[in-house]
């Protein structure tokens, strides 16, 4: 499902049932961060680094996106 994302948004994640439940239960952000890290969900920074290393983008372009 595609949604409008506010400009101040830092990351966009694929929502799974567990993450949705944690958000509904108002789980503290540090615990959400831990859950996301455990799932090894790549961040925008990770994606940018991978694209730089693959030659898909430049450091300058990646810095603007992250």
Each residue of 19-53: pLDDT tens digit? 999 999 999 989 988 998 898 877 888 889 999 99
Contact in structure between 45 and 36 (CB atoms under 8 Å)? no
**pLDDT for residue 3:** 57
Name the residue with tokens 């990646």.
62
- Chain-centroid distance, C-alpha 3: 15
**Cα gap 9→57, rounded to integer Å:** 22
In degrees and rounded to multiples of 5, residue 9 shows phi and psi of: -65, 135
**pLDDT for residue 44:** 82
**Cα gap 60→39, rounded to integer Å:** 29
């Amino acid at each position: 499902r595609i949604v409008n994302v506010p400009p101040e948004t830092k990351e966009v994640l694929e929502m799974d049932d567990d993450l949705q439940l944690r958000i509904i239960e108002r789980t503290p952000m540090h615990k959400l961060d831990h859950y996301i890290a455990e799932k090894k969900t790549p961040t925008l920074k990770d994606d940018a680094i991978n694209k730089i290393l693959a030659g898909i983008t430049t450091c300058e372009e990646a810095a603007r996106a992250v």
